[in-house]
Amino acid sequence: MGSMEAFPGDVSPPGRTAATGEGIGIEELALAARNHGLPLETLRYEVTPPGLHYVLVHYDIPAADAGGWRLCVGGRVRTPLELSPRDLAGFPAVTHRVTMECAGNGRARLSPRPVSQPWLVEAVGTADWTGVPLRTVLAEAGVEPGAVEAVFTGADHGVERGVEQDYRRSLPLAVATGDDPEVLIAYAMNGRPLPPQHGYPLRLVVPGWYGMAHVKWLCGITLVDAPFTGFQQVVAYRYRLVSDGPDDPGEPVTRMAPRALMVPPGFPDFMSRVRIVRPGPVPLEGRAWSGHGPVVRVEVSADEGASWTVAEPAPPGAHRWAWQGWRCTWTATPGRHDLLVRATDAGGRTQPLEQHWNRGGFGNNLVQRVPVLCC
Amino acid sequence: MGSMEAFPGDVSPPGRTAATGEGIGIEELALAARNHGLPLETLRYEVTPPGLHYVLVHYDIPAADAGGWRLCVGGRVRTPLELSPRDLAGFPAVTHRVTMECAGNGRARLSPRPVSQPWLVEAVGTADWTGVPLRTVLAEAGVEPGAVEAVFTGADHGVERGVEQDYRRSLPLAVATGDDPEVLIAYAMNGRPLPPQHGYPLRLVVPGWYGMAHVKWLCGITLVDAPFTGFQQVVAYRYRLVSDGPDDPGEPVTRMAPRALMVPPGFPDFMSRVRIVRPGPVPLEGRAWSGHGPVVRVEVSADEGASWTVAEPAPPGAHRWAWQGWRCTWTATPGRHDLLVRATDAGGRTQPLEQHWNRGGFGNNLVQRVPVLCC
């Protein structure tokens, strides 16, 4: 058990892209029914209520008992630690407001579509995460010379593309021990214990990085002296630009690309989600973020990007790893319109009007398109 | 604005069923990404944490302000009322543990597939709902002779199949004023204010009925002297057995059909969700419910229903409108298996092995099928 041969291809299928015109399949649908995005109208909340924050679970939500839970810190450290959630609550607590987005957000908009969790644009949320800085715990254990990465193990267990595994990801030592961003071992979300689906009782929070780095149900931290080569590090979560190059190592998925989202104006049709607005001034608002730094420009277009109206984002203020609100007014005239919105960050990174395809469907920050009928 | 002509067919499409082999479309996917089911492993919780409870929103989650919220009670009553959430908190509070299921649960398993929210099997959850009995508030208002139904209005506004509407449903007066089940105007879920997606600040809870009756964001109750003929009462939420009979009035969707669900055993493959177990005894557990009364029998089959193992459900106990736990042991042998489970209620209603198709895809309580690989 556990070898790749143990799992036939229909039990644990290889990665693939959908054929031209192939609709969403029953397996993608089963993932979409379990996991969920942020209903876009709830972008109105600066801090997302927990049940509205996006959720992506690779395998199962573990049956966790906080009383018996232990976080084991080992590998290249002077003093291996075994910490209970109560032990962690004894360290000085830190709270960070963090916007978190799934690396696969936008995947189902790609053509051809990589077959996996089929996010459209809604896999995001913002929460106040409270916990202990990872660097505090690593200092307590004492990092030995030669350690280059910290490997994080979650209790979520399953099979993926033939590989049986606990969910496991690493961070370079400089990120794990850095203070910008300050990585947290979090035990509370919005002032309450973590909900089961958000990692109860302990999870990692890595401000600015896509969700795959924020390991949930955290039970192990191992300092290693060579880069980690586990499945979620070198097979999954890589940008690979060629659809059939199996030997392409790709580039690692790390920080969030810039994105702006709009609260869809007016009211929707149930099935098409097209928005209905009345003629005249329509207030538009939303949120924008980038894992690389502050968003400095948000722009809205109603003419397919021929012209853009500037919607100044609020300054990042005290919460520099959280999304920034933006507002503007659009004057609606009778007929059909597609509203586009895009963000640009301080480093000049922005959102494309045409897709940047990659094999895993990661980091697709194509501009949001909101179809509107004004009548 | 508001007439059926205002909304072209691609903005507000008519009801339809998918063509043979037609995959899930982008519009169904957008609904699946917003709404979500219960991750089946969390059937382990007798009371579902709010963020794991299924959610189905027809239009948008309203931006509700509890301070300014008013529930208006009018129509055929002696004393029209205008009640704030604070007013309602002044009545004696009642708490009921209630299992709630979407009437469309199982829709995406039907062939041909009615095109709407594409639930597989997971649109369910159980919560402790606290509020005021509806009959208490109706007694305060004084129901006048001639009233036959109570019509409930939610603040959720949108368009559906060409009809602009607030979400609105009715109950027969005998149900609205009855004590078995006792209908609640709820303001708390699991001891906390309702989350936005569950109807903050007020919602109806109708124990035993499918979710469409539990009107969220409740702002109006009107007693009427003729049966309500609104969209959600006579167009949607009807059992219609003929796929193209537009004049078939159908039968109303009311109480939940019996259903048992299993916590999928072992651990999953990420993409296929097939479960991996080891040979030998495998404990199976789950929940079962019926809106018609207690579940008296739960059975598991590993041979396509040729034989069934009895898994006694726990007695309903104090929570007669909540699901009942069940357990049994299955001895796994190497190879592929499909586990089936079905519930039978006190009235002899049970779950079919073959689909009972209807045009809207309601009440499809086909037995759950859990594919397992034992290795």
Q: Is B65 on the interface with A (CB under 8 A)?
A: no
| Predicted-assembly ipTM surpassing the 0.90 threshold | yes
CA angle, B155 then B159 then B163, to 5°? 110
Residues 6+ apart with CB under 8 A from B247: none
Q: Residue B243 has what pLDDT?
A: 67
Q: List the helix and strand counts (H, then E) for chain B.
A: 4, 21
Tell me which amino acid residue B317 is.
Answer: G
Q: DSSP states of B340-353 as a string?
A: EEEEEETTS----S
Q: Is A61 on the interface with B (CB under 8 A)?
A: yes
Cα gap B275→B209, rounded to integer Å: 32
Q: DSSP states of A268-317 as a string?
A: EBTTT--EEE-SEEEEEEEEEE-TTS-EEEEEEESSTTSS-EE-PBPP-T
Q: Read off the pTM.
A: 0.96
What one-character DSSP code corresponds to residue A17? B
Q: Is B19 on the interface with A (CB under 8 A)?
A: no
Among B residues 180-199, those touching chain A with beta carbons less than 8 Å apart: 195-198
Q: Which of A29, A278, A373 sits opposite B32 (nearest CB)?
A: A29
Among B residues 83-102, those touching chain A with beta carbons less than 8 Å apart: none
- Extract the tokens encoding B121: 């099997």
Starting from the edge strand earliest in sequence, which strands make up the sheet with A280-289, in order? Answer: A259-262, A280-289, A324-332
Cα gap B122→A374, rounded to integer Å: 36
Q: DSSP states of A124-141 as a string?
A: EEEEEEEEEEHHHHHHHH
- Extract the tokens encoding A229: 């080569």
Closest chain B residue by Cα to residue A39: B34
Q: CB distance B373–A122 less than 8 Å?
A: no
- Extract the tokens encoding A305: 């990007």
Q: Is A32 on the interface with B (CB under 8 A)?
A: yes
Cα gap B258→B251, rounded to integer Å: 18
Beta bridge partners of B369: B340
Residues 6+ apart with CB under 8 A from A147: A75, A76, A77, A173, A223, A224, A225
Torsion sign over Cα A274, A278, A279, A282: negative
- Count CA atoms within 13 Å of residue A358 on its CB side: 24
Neighbours of B139 (CB within 10 A): 11
* Average of per-residue pLDDT across B149-174: 98
In Å, how far from its chain's centre is CA B323? 13
- Extract the tokens encoding B105: 């649960």
Share of chain B above pLDDT 70, in %: 98
Among B residues 314-353, those touching chain A with beta carbons less than 8 Å apart: none
Q: Residue A2 has what pLDDT?
A: 42
Residue B282 DSSP SS3: strand
Q: Residue B1 has what pLDDT?
A: 41
> At residue B4, does pLDDT exceed 80?
no
> At residue B51, does pLDDT exceed 70?
yes
Pick left, alpha or beta for residue B239 (phi over 0 → left; psi -120 to 50 → alpha; otherwise beta): beta
Q: Residue B244 has what pLDDT?
A: 64
Q: Answer whether the bond into residue B181 is a cis peptide, omega within 30°.
A: yes
Q: Answer whether the bond into residue B14 is a cis peptide, omega within 30°.
A: no
Q: CB distance B13–A52 less than 8 Å?
A: no
Residue with tokens 């009437």: B103
Cα gap A279→A111, rounded to integer Å: 34
Nearest one of A289, A188, A261 to A39, comparing CA atoms: A261
Neighbours of B323 (CB within 10 A): 29
Q: CB distance B159–A268 less than 8 Å?
A: yes
* Average of per-residue pLDDT across B51-75: 96
Asked if residue B248 lies in contact with residue B364, where contact means CB atoms within 8 angstroms, the answer is no
Q: What is the per-residue pLDDT across B278-292, written as a single tens digit (0 to 9) for each?
A: 999 999 999 999 999
Chain B nearest CA to A264, separation (Å): 10
Residues 6+ apart with CB under 8 A from A59: A156, A157, A158, A167, B267, B268, B270
Beta bridge partners of A179: A182
Q: Which of A11, A29, A160 sits opposite B108 (nearest CB)?
A: A29
Q: What is the per-residue pLDDT across B332-363, written as a single tens digit (0 to 9) for each?
A: 999 999 999 999 999 999 999 999 999 999 99
Chain B nearest CA to A271, separation (Å): 6
What one-character DSSP code corresponds to residue A99? E
Distances (CA, A) of B93 to A10, A306, B136, B184: 52, 58, 11, 10
Cα gap A302→A304, rounded to integer Å: 6
Residue B295 DSSP SS3: strand
Q: Residue B2 has what pLDDT?
A: 42
Q: What is the per-residue pLDDT across B94-109, written as a single tens digit (0 to 9) for each?
A: 999 999 999 999 999 9
Phi, psi of B107 (to 5 degrees): -60, -45
Q: DSSP H helical segments within chain B, as ranges?
A: 26-34, 85-89, 134-141, 173-176
CA angle, A212 then A145 then A85, to 5°? 45
Q: Is B13 on the interface with A (CB under 8 A)?
A: yes
Q: Answer whether the bond into residue A112 is a cis peptide, omega within 30°.
A: yes
Q: Residue B245 has what pLDDT?
A: 63
| A chain contacts of residue B22, beta-carbon cutoff 8 Å | 23
Residue with tokens 């709009």: A262
Q: Which of A44, A120, A161 sits opposite B29 (nearest CB)?
A: A120
Residues 6+ apart with CB under 8 A from A121: A37, A40, A105, A106, A109, A261, A368
Q: CB distance B35–A31 less than 8 Å?
A: no
User: Of B7, B269, B372, which to mutate for an interface test with A (greatest number of A Cβ within 10 Å)?
Assistant: B269
> At residue B157, does pLDDT exceed 70?
yes
Closest chain B residue by Cα to residue A116: B271
Asked if residue B42 lies in contact with residue B287, where contact means CB atoms within 8 angstroms, the answer is no
Q: CB distance B375–A197 less than 8 Å?
A: no
Cα gap A173→A134, rounded to integer Å: 11
Packing angle of the helix pair B26-34, A26-34 (nearest 10 deg):
30
Asked if residue A199 lies in contact with residue A217, where contact means CB atoms within 8 angstroms, the answer is yes
Asked if residue A88 lies in contact with residue A187, where contact means CB atoms within 8 angstroms, the answer is yes
Neighbours of A71 (CB within 10 A): 21
- Count CA atoms within 13 Å of residue A132 on its CB side: 19
Q: CB distance A267–B159 less than 8 Å?
A: yes
Mean pLDDT of chain B: 96
Beta bridge partners of B286: B262, B326
Nearest one of B316, B319, B248 to B95, comparing CA atoms: B319
> At residue B56, does pLDDT exceed 60?
yes
pLDDT band, residue B48 (cuts 50/70/90): very high
Q: Residue B246 has what pLDDT?
A: 64
Residue B369 DSSP SS3: strand
Among B residues 127-156, those touching chain A with beta carbons less than 8 Å apart: none
Among B residues 256-315, those touching chain A with beta carbons less than 8 Å apart: 264, 267-274, 276, 278
Q: What is the per-residue pLDDT across B115-146, written as a single tens digit (0 to 9) for each?
A: 999 999 999 999 999 999 999 999 999 999 99
Residue A27 DSSP SS3: helix
Q: What is the dihedral of CA B349, B350, B354, B358, to 10 degrees?
A: 40
User: Of A270, A277, A374, which to mutate for an interface test with B (greatest number of B Cβ within 10 Å)?
Assistant: A270
Output the tens digit of pLDDT for each of chain A's 375 residues: 444 468 999 999 999 999 998 999 999 999 999 999 999 999 999 999 989 999 999 999 999 998 999 999 999 999 999 999 999 999 999 999 999 999 999 999 999 999 999 999 999 999 999 999 999 999 999 999 999 999 999 999 999 999 999 999 999 999 999 999 999 999 999 999 999 999 999 999 999 999 999 999 999 999 999 999 999 999 999 999 876 666 789 999 999 999 999 999 999 999 999 999 999 999 999 999 999 999 999 999 999 999 999 998 999 889 999 999 999 999 999 999 999 999 999 999 999 999 999 999 999 999 999 999 999
Q: What is the per-residue pLDDT across B202-214, written as a single tens digit (0 to 9) for each?
A: 999 999 999 999 9
Q: CB distance B32–A32 less than 8 Å?
A: yes
